[in-house]
Chains A and B, each alone.
Chain A
C-alpha cells in the first residue's frame, strides 16, 4: 500500500510533530495487507527548502506549492494543483492530512478534483485482515461509527491518537517545482488579506475553567475569570455561552468548538450534553459542579460537587489564593480572554 502524509510548510500547525504523527498513522494503516510504502509530501513556498529531521524515508518537497505562495497570502489553489499532479504521477492508496482547517479544505477539494473519496476528522484507524477500518464520531458525538476505508482514499486525521514516527537519518529528498497559474478556476481569486489577528485557542491550555449556561451571567464570568486567574488557567464556555458572547468563539468547547486536553478541566454550571462532553473527554481530570444531582455532566467527571457554581467558584478562588501559588498550567492573563 502506498501511503502519503501531506503537510504545508506555511501552515502554523504543520510542524515536525504533525509530520511525525502523520507518518505514525501511516505505519498503523500499513499494518494491514502486506505493509506500506510511506512517504511525506511537503508543500513549500518558493524560498529556501525547509530543513528538518524528516520522519519518512522518502520526502517530496513541492516548491512554490504552499498555501502562502500566492500573492493573496493564502491560496489553497497552489497546493491543490501540486497535489493533483503528484497524485496523477504516484497514484497513492492513502493520502493523509492533519484534521485542521487547512487540512480539511485541501482534502475535500482534492477529493473533488481527483475523484478520490474522503473521510474527515478520523481519530483512529485499524487494520482488519486485508482491509482498513476507520472510526468517526457521528450524530454530534453521540455515536461512534466504523466505516470501511476503501482505497484510494483521502483522510484527515486527528493526530493526538497516533504515536509520532522516528526521524530518518538519511531520507531520500526529491524536489519538484509546482505548476504555476494555468486555466483552472482560482478558488481564491480577488482575495485581499487585510489583517491577520493572532488568536490563541484552547488546544494547549493546561487548565481550563468551562462555564455552562447555568453559570454565564456577567458576574459569573467575572468569578470564572478570577478563578482562572488564581489557578493559572483560561476560561472557556459551552456553545450557548459562546453564542451569547460571554466567551469568544475560539473558546467554545465541544463538537462544534475545540476538543480540549488539559490536565484539569473544571466545568461550572453545564448540563453535560454529549455535544459538549465530547469536547472535554481528552482532559486528564474533570471536575464538575452543578446544582442538579442528576445532570449528565457527572457521568463524565472524575470528581464533582452538587452545589451552586458561583458560590463554589468564589470559595475555590479564596482557597487557591490563600495558598499563595498558581497552578502554572497556563499563566495567561485571564483579562485577555474577553478580548478574544
Chain B
C-alpha cells in the first residue's frame, strides 16, 4: 500500500474583488468576506496529479491511499464535498485561529506535525505556491521539516513498481528524475492542472463526505512577517486607442504609430 498525501489551500478568488476594494485596502489586505472561495491554482493541479498517481498505482496492481490535507480552509464545504467522489480517501482540515497568511514556516510546521503524527507517507505533493503570500516557501519548509528529498515544479509523475519518474522544471530546462519513495514534490504548471469533476454515478456511489477537523497547535513563535503597509500600485499607462472602421484599419494605425518604432 502506497500512502500519498497532498497539501492544498482554499483561497479567495481575487478576480471577484472589486477594484475599489483593492485601492482602499488598508492594514494587511482587503476584506474578502464576500468573495467566492476556490482551490489555489497550483494546489488544484497537485490534487489532480495525486489522483493520477493513485490511478497509476491501481493500474499496476498496487493499492494507494490518498489523504488531502489543508490548514484553516475557512468556508470550503462546496469544494471538499466532492473529494471522496473523485477518489480522495481522507480529507483533513487543520484548524487554527492564528493568522498564517504570511507565515510559511508556521504553516509548514503545522502540516509537518500532522503528517509526522501518522504513518509515514510515500509521496507528499503540494502546489508550487499559493496566495496571498505567494512565496512558494511552504513546500520547501515542509520538505525540510519532514526530512524528505524534494523535487520542485513537477509537470508530471509516472509511478512504476520501484520508483516514480518525475518530469520537472529546472533553470536549464526540463529534467526527468527517477525518485525512490519517500519524497516531496511541488506541482507547477503541470500537464494536467484541472481537478476532475465526479460523474453523477461517482457522486452517488461515493461515501458521504466525512471531513476531519483537527485542532492544530503550532509550537514556537518564530516565523512570519506582518506587512507594515500595503498599497495598490498604480500601473496605468496612457493608452492610445486606434481609430478605424475595421481590424485592418486598427492594425495599420497601430503599426504606423507604435509597432513600427518598437521593431526598429
Residues of A within 8 A of B (CB): 11-13, 74, 100-102, 104-105, 108-109, 111-113, 115, 117-121, 133, 136-140, 142-148, 185-199, 207, 231-232, 239, 242-243, 245, 249-250, 252, 255-257, 263-264, 266, 273-275, 277, 281, 284-289, 296, 298-308, 311-312, 314-316, 319-320, 326-329, 340
A329 touches B239 (CB 8 A): no
Chain B residues whose C-beta falls within 8 Å of the C-beta of A104 in the assembled complex: 136-137, 140
Q: Are B237 and A300 in contact (CB under 8 A)?
A: yes
Q: Are A303 and B257 in contact (CB under 8 A)?
A: yes
Tell me the complex Cα distance, A207–B260, Å.
12
Q: Which of A11, A115, A304 has a CB less than 8 Å from the CB of B240?
A: A304
Chain B residues whose CB sits within 8 angstroms of the CB of A111 once the complex forms: 105, 137, 141
Q: Quick one: CB contact mask for B110-147 with A, threshold 8 Å, 1 for yes?
A: 00000000000000000011011111110011011101
Q: Is B231 a contact of A144 with CB atoms below 8 Å? A: yes
B171 touches A102 (CB 8 A): yes
| Most interface-central of B180, B229, B240, B262 (chain A CB within 10 A) | B262
From the candidates A145, A239, A319, name the one contacting B255 in the complex (CB within 8 A).
A319
What is the chain A residue whose CB lies nearest that of B146?
A185
* B17 and A117 within 8 A (CB): no
> Which of B53-61, B148-156, B199-207 faces chain A?
B148-156
Contact B15 A242 (CB under 8 A): no
Query: B232 at the A/B interface (Cβ < 8 Å)?
Result: yes
Report yes or no: A303 in contact with B179, Cβ–Cβ below 8 A: no
What would 13 A/B residue contacts be, using CB atoms closer than 8 Å?
A102-B171, A112-B141, A138-B102, A187-B148, A187-B150, A199-B172, A299-B239, A303-B240, A304-B239, A305-B254, A307-B247, A312-B247, A326-B263
Q: How far is the CB of B101 from chain A (nearest CB, A)?
A: 8
Judged by a CB distance under 8 angstroms, whether B174 is at the interface is yes
The one of B14, B141, B240, B255 in contact with A320, judged by C-beta atoms closer than 8 angstroms, is B255
Give the complex CA separation of A121 and B176 in angstroms.
26
Q: Which of A187, A194, A242, A264 contacts B189 (CB 8 A)?
A: A242
CA distance A111 to B28 in the complex (A): 24
- Nearest A residue to B144 by beta-carbon distance? A112
Contact between chains at A112 and B29 (CB < 8 Å) = no
- Does the CB pair A108–B239 fall under 8 Å? no
Contact across chains for B254 and A139 when beta carbons are under 8 A apart:
no
Closest CB of chain A to B90's CB: distance in Å? 27
Complex-state Cα separation, A316 to B251, whole angstroms: 5
Contact of A139 among B131, B189, B253 (CB under 8 A): B131
B155 and A120: CB pair below 8 A? no
Q: Are A195 and B175 in contact (CB under 8 A)?
A: yes
Report yes or no: A105 in contact with B152, Cβ–Cβ below 8 A.
Answer: yes
Describe A's contact surface by its main secondary structure.
mixed
Indicate whether A327 sits within 8 Å of B263 (C-beta atoms), given known contacts A145-B227, A194-B178, A273-B15.
yes
**In the complex, how many angstroms separate the beta carbon of A302 from the nearest chain B beta carbon?**
5
Q: Judging by beta carbons under 8 Å apart, are B263 and A285 in contact? A: no
Q: How large is the interface on B (under 10, 10 to 19, 20 to 34, 35 or more residues)?
A: 35 or more
B248 neighbours in A (Cβ, 8 Å): 311, 315
Most-contacted residue by chain B among A138, A194, A284, A301 (CB, 10 A):
A138
The reply to whether A197 and B255 form a contact with Cβ atoms under 8 Å apart is no
Contact B14 A145 (CB under 8 A): no
Contacts of B133 in A (CB 8 A): 138
Do the beta carbons of A285 and B258 come within 8 Å of each other? yes
A-B interface pairs (CB < 8 A), number: 262
Q: A117-B225, A140-B131, A299-B239 are in contact. Are A187 and B149 (CB under 8 A)?
A: yes
**Are A138 and B227 neighbours in the complex by a CB distance under 8 Å?**
yes
The answer to whether the Cβ of B230 comes within 8 Å of any Cβ in the partner chain is yes
Given A144-B233, A316-B259: A198 touches B143 (CB 8 Å cut-off): no
Q: Which of A100, A118, A277 is within 8 Å of B137, CB to CB?
A: A118
Pairwise interchain contact A281-B235, C-beta atoms closer than 8 A: yes
Q: A190-B183, A194-B165, A298-B241 are in contact. List 20 more A-B contacts (CB 8 A).
A: A11-B171, A13-B171, A104-B136, A109-B143, A136-B135, A137-B134, A139-B22, A143-B22, A144-B231, A189-B149, A243-B189, A249-B169, A264-B263, A266-B259, A273-B15, A285-B258, A287-B254, A304-B240, A305-B250, A328-B263
The residues of B that contact A102 with a CB separation of less than 8 Å are: 170-171
A252-B163 Cα distance, complex, nearest whole Å = 30
Tell me the bound Cα distance from A12 to B171 in angstroms.
Answer: 7
How far is it, in angstroms, between the C-alpha of A299 and the C-alpha of B233 when the chains are bound?
13
Residues of chain B within 8 A of A264, CB atoms compared: 259, 262-263
Inter-chain contacts of B177 with A (CB < 8 A): 191-194
C-alpha gap A175/B15 in the complex (Å):
52
Q: Using a CB-CB cutoff of 8 Å, which residues 218-232 of chain B contact chain A? A: 222-223, 225-232
Instruction: Say which residue of A120, A136, A190 sits within 8 Å of B180 (CB atoms).
Output: A190
Residues A143 and B140 in contact, CB atoms below 8 Å apart: no
Chain A residue nearest to B135 in the complex (CB):
A120
Question: Chain B residues near A196 (CB, 8 Å)?
Answer: 170, 172-175
Closest-CB distance, B53 to chain A (whole angstroms): 17
Q: Quick check: A305 and B242 within 8 Å, CB to CB?
A: yes
Which residues of chain A have C-beta atoms less than 8 A from B250's C-beta? 289, 305-307, 312, 315
Partner of A198, one of B137, B153, B155, B172: B172
Chain B residues with CB below 8 A from A243, complex form: 189, 193-194
- The reply to whether the CB of B236 lies closer than 8 angstroms to some CB of chain A is yes
Chain A hits for B153, CB < 8 A? 101
Q: Which residues of A contact B41 (CB under 8 A)?
A: 239, 256
Partner of A256, one of B19, B147, B189: B189
